[in-house]
């Protein structure tokens, strides 16, 4: 593992150096503001709710906003895919990837996935007429020049065990933070103030604006199903499939949780502090695609529990009704600048 990490780190260093020396060229898209929400540690920083936070922020400024994503693990025939526009959704989560599809469910704005983010940005500007692009991930995608790089640091694992992938979780050196415009320490509510202080101290030398954000549970909701299949919108004009329940509903109840996210420990801790009498857990790898057999297994297990709980990222990949299934809504909030 250590040797692989050294090789990975060297490749990343060399690539960044070629961009720094302008041997590799960044491409700028004129007439549109591009804001990248990224990280330097693989997975689990809370990018998806952070992206939604900034989308909402710019919508409130009456900006025409679009979302650009790589569409990680999406299986599509062509690289560039319009997931949705202001009117409707054109793709499914298997084509778009789960994060992009979740954005499409939550907003009635253009969502595009494309590994070539420059090409995706051009499409959003020229075909969708957006003036602000919120880029979901892509700090390491240096081919596209951004107007602002906002980097998320997960307070529960801020520096990726100080090793590159695969031994650690670092996607590139901490010195890459020199390219950042702003740093946000996320999930601050899961660690002590002392831990936040230590993270701040380590980040101080980069002389960047540092904000503190929480990642907090808000409520549970259920999706309505028709003929065993869920509606294709979570938030829609009729509020179909968005029946809300208070967090206290699982207190003293037996619950089963399942997820396929990068940091399932945070999901478990969140449910635990809501005081169910019993928690059992089924974990899958990050971005896992559920098979019919796995869904059937969860449905069978569900019969023994008061509630089955999952995340918003997971629900986009579940097409069948599971008895007593509820989704936990989490919210990203900046509490300190």
Which own/partner contact pairs does 293-301 have at CB distance under 8 Å and 24+ positions apart? 295/319, 295/320, 295/322, 298/256, 298/258, 298/322, 299/323, 301/256
Cα distances from 186 to residues 33, 74, 225, 227, 330, in angstroms, run 24, 26, 34, 40, 13
Euclidean distance between CA atoms 105 and 43, whole angstroms: 21
CA dihedral of 274, 99, 64, 29, whole degrees rounded to 10: 140
CA dihedral of 160, 163, 168, 173, whole degrees rounded to 10: 60
Tell me if 63 is assigned to a ligand binding site: no
Radius of gyration of the chain (CA): 20
Maximum distance among all alpha carbons in the chain?
A: 61
Secondary structure tally for the chain: helices H, strands E: 9, 15
Q: Which residues pair with 35 in a beta bridge?
A: 134, 148
Tell me if 47 is assigned to a ligand binding site: yes
Tell me if 42 is assigned to a ligand binding site: yes
Instruction: Tell how far CA 87 is from the center of its chain.
Output: 23
Tell me if 302 is assigned to a ligand binding site: no
Question: Residue 271: in which H helix or E strand, if any?
Answer: helix 264-272
Question: 179 in helix, strand or coil?
Answer: helix
Tell me if 38 is assigned to a ligand binding site: no
Binding residue ranges: 41-48
Residues contributing to the annotated binding site for ATP: 41-48
């Amino acid at each position: 593992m250590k040797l692989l990490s050294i090789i990975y780190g060297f490749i990343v260093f060399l690539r960044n150096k070629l961009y720094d020396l302008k041997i590799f060229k960044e491409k700028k898209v004129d007439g549109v503001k591009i804001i990248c929400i990224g990280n330097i540690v693989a997975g689990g920083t809370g990018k998806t709710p952070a992206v939604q936070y900034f989308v909402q922020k710019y919508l409130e400024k009456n900006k025409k906003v679009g979302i650009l994503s790589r569409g990680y693990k999406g299986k599509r025939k062509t690289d560039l895919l319009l997931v949705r526009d202001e009117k409707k959704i054109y793709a499914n989560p298997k084509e778009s990837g789960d994060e992009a599809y979740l954005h499409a469910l939550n907003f009635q704005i253009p969502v595009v996935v494309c590994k070539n983010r420059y090409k995706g940005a051009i499409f959003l500007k020229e075909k969708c007429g957006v003036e602000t692009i919120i880029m979901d991930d892509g700090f390491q995608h240096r081919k596209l020049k951004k107007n602002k790089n906002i980097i998320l640091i997960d307070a529960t694992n801020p520096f990726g065990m100080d090793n590159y992938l695969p031994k650690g979780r670092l996607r590139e050196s901490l010195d890459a933070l020199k390219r950042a415009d702003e740093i946000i320490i996320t999930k601050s509510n899961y660690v002590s103030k002392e831990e936040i202080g230590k993270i701040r101290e380590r980040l101080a030398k980069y002389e960047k604006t540092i904000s503190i954000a929480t990642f907090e549970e808000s409520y549970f909701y259920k999706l309505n199903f028709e003929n065993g299949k869920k509606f294709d919108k979570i938030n829609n004009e009729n509020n179909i499939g968005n029946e809300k329940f208070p967090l206290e509903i699982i207190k003293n109840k037996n619950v089963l949780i399942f997820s396929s996210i990068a940091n399932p420990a945070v999901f478990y801790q969140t449910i635990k502090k809501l005081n169910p009498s019993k928690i059992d857990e089924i974990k899958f790898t990050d971005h896992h695609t559920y098979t019919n057999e796995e869904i059937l297994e969860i449905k069978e297990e569900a019969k023994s529990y008061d509630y089955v709980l999952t995340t918003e990222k997971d629900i986009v990949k579940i097409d069948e009704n599971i008895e007593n299934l509820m989704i936990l809504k989490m919210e990203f909030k900046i509490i300190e600048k």
